A and B are shown apart, each in its own frame.
Chain A
Amino acid sequence: MTEKSPLTVLDRPNSFIGKSVSRAGAKRLLEGRGTFVDDMTLPRMVHVAFCRSPFAHAKFGAINSEAAKAASGIISVVTGRELAEYCTPWVGVLTHLQGLKSAPQHAIALDKACWQGEAVVAVIAETRSQAEDAVELVEIDYQELPVVADMETALDDATPVIHSDLGDNLCFQREVDIGEVDKAFADAHCVVEETFNFGRHTGVCLETRAIIADYNPSEEHLTVYLSAQAPHMMKNLYAKHFGLNEDKVRVVCKDVGGSFGIKVHTYPDEMATGALSIMLKRPVKFNADRLESFVTDIHARDHRVKARMAVSKEGKFLAIDMDDLTGIGPYSVYPRTSGIEANQVINLTGGPYTIENYRANARVVFTNKNGMCQYRAVGHPIACAVGEGLVDAAARAMDMDPVELRRRNLIPDDAYPYTYATGLVYEQLSHHQCLDKLLEMMDYDGLRREQAEYRDKGIHRGIGFASMIEVTNPSPAFYGVGGAFISSQEGCTMRLDHTGGITCTVGVTEQGQGSDAVMAQVAATAVGVPMENIRIVSGDTDVVPYGGGTWASRAAGIGGEAALRAGKALRENLLEIAAIILQADAAALDIQDGAVVDADGGTERMPLSELGRIVYFRGDTLPKDVQPELVVTRHYVPKAFPFAFTNGVEAFYVEVDVDTGFVKLLKCWVVDDCGTIINPMLVDEQIRGGVVQGIGGALYEECLYDERGQYLNATMADYLTPMAMEMPDIEVGHVETPTKDSELGAKGVGEAGTTGAPAAIMNAINDAIQPFGKHVSDMPFTPERILKALGKV
């Protein structure tokens, strides 16, 4: 499995790597003793609510706030122009996405709202309900403007330009053309072609976005309590746009009620809250309600992809040619931009296969809808569904088993390192091993027999596969090179306390995925102490080493390696001091289970608490030239590859009711290779949670807008998310191929499940309805869409 020498830290006695340890931090949450932002109240704190544009595109002139100002409990009513004195606008571009453009965006619109839900006026009151009441009293004179609602026509001459300074509605375009695509199609035995539509959907974190900004003018110091993923990134942006000294900005993320990429962006209402705290010189809280979340939390996946694939007579994939169009709302979201998803789509499509000729065109256009940006698995579910949809279309066209067709084209497990047509470099993947394992887990042959038996009874079941790759452990190539202050490196500071306990501060952040627990397992293993001796502190920029936070499946792989290095360094320091105290050779000592022991035989020599006691209280007993260092910091940034790719395969078994169009998910299997597994239970739960979010996009979730840019289903009752009743049990298996770029060898796993589920479900539905000679490719696959495809409505 691993070629590492047996002396690696992973093989140490009492290693916690690979153990399903329960998360220490989960206990407070189980008793309702967590601290989410809305649970906090600060002295003199006031609440802000926003008047939001009811129109998708409108100019506004006079704002009459007299009645609102006179209402009970009102502290202030603030317009965009007034707030602009305290917060400069931003532009969501990155230099490595060449040509990407966007317009300056303000915390509160100055004179024009560009989507339904954009904040237009802020009302600040003693209580949230007073602020919300007074919002109703503000009179705003709107003049509706023509709306760009359809991305297909956004670039037409007849369509109005949303930001006239930009000249057109094109945010970003990228073309790639590799190999000899036209020749490959001309030579092909079979060409399959399909248009795929992906519904706009959103994260629906159960905890809505929330912030408390607390500005202290006497020290020109701002503290922000935020439900977010990347505290250091936000610290930088607050300083930059509020004109503060960055060293005097502190961002604290306590418990975060789900994030999934939703909480890693700059939101105008949150920036407004920070600026208002500076303006009003007191703490200000904003907590989005669910309606506000639907109309302002970033959306994702609104893509239309036309794609075709050329296949040889032997079933070899020769070429892919595709066109991706996506409508991202009126601004490229800051600072990660709204060009990344399309970029991922054209980078990753067909990525598991040996395809040499590849052409893709991606266009990202502005529309008058809520902004789109990076949400869990960014672009992957689209790329995967397009690629895997074409594979199954080819299997149908050539009357081949979809597994056999995949086998002929998946990159061989011994072909690595491998460079894909689009330039992606894979260190070492395991597609064939994963597929073999999956087929065994699901009893593929048995399932096919069962499917045939049911078909005879008029019951339509289908089996669908998706092979996938996932971008994890990103290096600075993702954002840093584009000029954003988004850190790819991570740090861990580790301190031995006199009790023998170890406090670790880490830059990665806990969103419920279990990063704190994983850091603790690595730290305990590297130093040689029991889990309960480790305490992890994360999420506070005043305390933790500089880090990027949680995104792009990086916490375990990058943060974990930093913790490993810190743990090893601390252990070395401890052994050095222990050797002096015990008058022994450091190399003959080890640390196990919280005590210094003889490396040979494991006889205990001294508990770490005794070492701590001597160092902290009886330094006089140590030699004069010895200064113990019981605090160490180590960092890690991936260098060998731009990304540590992982791979996996998912399969779904579904039943389609061809009379009602309902899809029943019978079972799901996943085999994933995320390298070294630190905590198998947490890895499996990341996969399951991810799969279920993918199911949401495939079957239920869609932000529906009308032609006037009005959001039609912005409640939890109308926007359907997966519920317990409809979800299948998900069986998870693993192949472990550690990355050699780090000693720990861990890669990411947070987005794998979401990547493959939509593709596998689509293929399973199409397998089920194949006898009717029909198929579907517009997500979500609602009963209505399935009946339409079957020609029944």
Chain B
Amino acid sequence: MSDTLTVNLTVNGEKVSRAIEPRRNLVDFLREDLQLTGSHVGCEHGVCGACTLRVNGEIVRGCLMLAVQAEGAVVETIEGVSDSGEIADLQEAFHERNALQCGFCTPGMLLAAADLLNANPGAGRDQIREHISGNYCRCTGYQAIVDAIEAVGRKRSGQSS
């Protein structure tokens, strides 16, 4: 077993301290050490976006960041933003519009969508498409996802949909 380092961070509002191998990436740490299996792993090389997480308020690819780099960081996962109700409107819109099929891309997609709408609730379809272009979905063909994000953006910015 390689040497471990102790990492202290906040995950979904809870303080966590664990001894981990320096090579362990953040999404594996969350999934395997903390059993937060809502974040998914689709490629492990930074392309698919299934591992999208929020670290200190910014979305990152959990497979491209080492867990030890999260020392002192505030990490939020799909479990956290679901329980807090922060993205309840997005989840509801995805549900109503069937903007997910297998749901494997969905946690990452929702975090990417939330990131866009927090910055720009009035984003148009092309901006939405561009923003989620790093999040692959193999099932939906994306249109329903764009529809759902657009509808929430409109609601949030007070326009009727």
Contacts and interface: CB of A to CB of B under 8 A. Distances in A.
Given A30-B100, A514-B101, A260 B138 contact: yes
Contacts of A206: 40, 42, 48, 50, 102, 104-105, 136-139
B52 to A, nearest CB: 11
A565 to B, nearest CB: 27
A31 B91 contact: yes
B140 A32 contact: no
B41 interface: yes
A23 B37 contact: no
A647 to B, nearest CB: 21
B27 to A, nearest CB: 11
Interface stretch (A52-60, A232-240, A524-532, A714-722): A714-722
Q: How large is the interface on A (under 10, 10 to 19, 20 to 34, 35 or more residues)?
A: 35 or more
Contacts of A717: 45-47
A373 interface: no
Interface string B116-134: 0000000001001110111
Interface in A678-726: 681-682, 685, 688-693, 715-717, 721-725
B82 interface: yes
Given A31-B38, A730-B143, 14 more contacts: A26-B100, A30-B82, A30-B103, A32-B77, A36-B40, A206-B102, A206-B104, A208-B42, A258-B101, A514-B98, A682-B98, A689-B141, A717-B47, A725-B130
B101 A512 contact: yes
Contacts of A165: none
Contacts of A255: 102-103
The B contact surface, by secondary structure, is loop
Interface of A: 22-23, 26-27, 29-34, 36, 38-39, 41, 72-73, 129, 203-208, 255-260, 289-290, 511-514, 681-682, 685, 688-693, 715-717, 721-725, 727, 729-730, 753
A725 B43 contact: no
B74 interface: no
B140 A258 contact: no
Given A206-B136, A691-B141, A30 B110 contact: yes
Given A31-B38, A207-B40, A36 B104 contact: yes
Interface string B43-84: 111111010000000000000000000000000011100100
B133 A32 contact: no
Nearest to A517: B98
A32 B39 contact: yes
B64 to A, nearest CB: 12
B98 A26 contact: yes
Nearest to B42: A206
Contact of A38 (B41, B43, B139): B41
30 contacts: A26-B98, A27-B95, A29-B102, A30-B91, A33-B38, A36-B37, A206-B42, A206-B138, A207-B40, A207-B42, A257-B103, A258-B139, A512-B100, A512-B101, A681-B97, A685-B144, A688-B141, A688-B144, A689-B139, A691-B141, A715-B43, A715-B45, A716-B43, A716-B48, A717-B45, A717-B46, A723-B134, A724-B137, A725-B129, A727-B129
Contacts of B42: 206-208, 290, 716
Interface residues of B, number: 57
Contacts of A72: 1
Nearest to A290: B43
A589 B100 CA distance: 40
Given A31-B78, A724-B133, A716 B47 contact: yes
Nearest to B80: A32
Given A30-B103, A290-B45, A689-B141, A725 B78 contact: no
A208 B44 CA distance: 11
Contact of A724 (B39, B78, B98, B146): B146
A72 B40 CA distance: 27
Given A30-B94, A260-B138, A289-B44, A689 B101 contact: yes
Contact of A513 (B101, B135, B144): B101
Contacts of A690: 141
Contacts of B145: 724
B50 to A, nearest CB: 6
A39 B144 CA distance: 27
Given A207-B42, A730-B143, A685 B102 contact: no
B159 to A, nearest CB: 20
A258 B105 CA distance: 10
Contacts of B146: 724
8 shortest interchain CB distances as A-B pairs: A32-B38, A29-B103, A512-B102, A257-B104, A512-B101, A32-B78, A692-B141, A39-B37
Contacts of B137: 206, 724
B98 to A, nearest CB: 5
Contacts of B50: 206
Nearest to A686: B101
B82 A26 contact: no
B132 A724 contact: yes
A691 B36 CA distance: 34
Most buried by A among B43, B96, B139: B139
Nearest to B105: A206
Contact of B103 (A34, A38, A725): A34
A285 to B, nearest CB: 12
Contacts of B125: 729
A679 B3 CA distance: 55
Nearest to A31: B82
A8 B25 CA distance: 57
Given A208-B42, A289-B44, A721 B98 contact: no
Contacts of B39: 32
B149 to A, nearest CB: 10
B140 A715 contact: no
A723 B133 contact: yes
B106 A30 contact: yes
A722 B77 CA distance: 26
Most buried by B among A29, A33, A689: A29
Nearest to B21: A129
Contacts of A257: 40, 102-104
Nearest to A681: B98
Nearest to B103: A29
Given A31-B78, A36-B104, A685 B43 contact: no
A38 B51 CA distance: 14
A682 B96 CA distance: 11
Contacts of A721: 136, 138
Nearest to B50: A206
B98 A688 contact: no
Contacts of B101: 258, 511-514, 685, 689
Nearest to A28: B103
B142 A692 contact: yes
Contacts of B141: 685, 688-693, 722, 727, 730, 753
B124 to A, nearest CB: 13
A617 B144 CA distance: 47
Given A32-B37, A34-B103, A255-B102, A512 B139 contact: yes
A689 B139 CA distance: 5
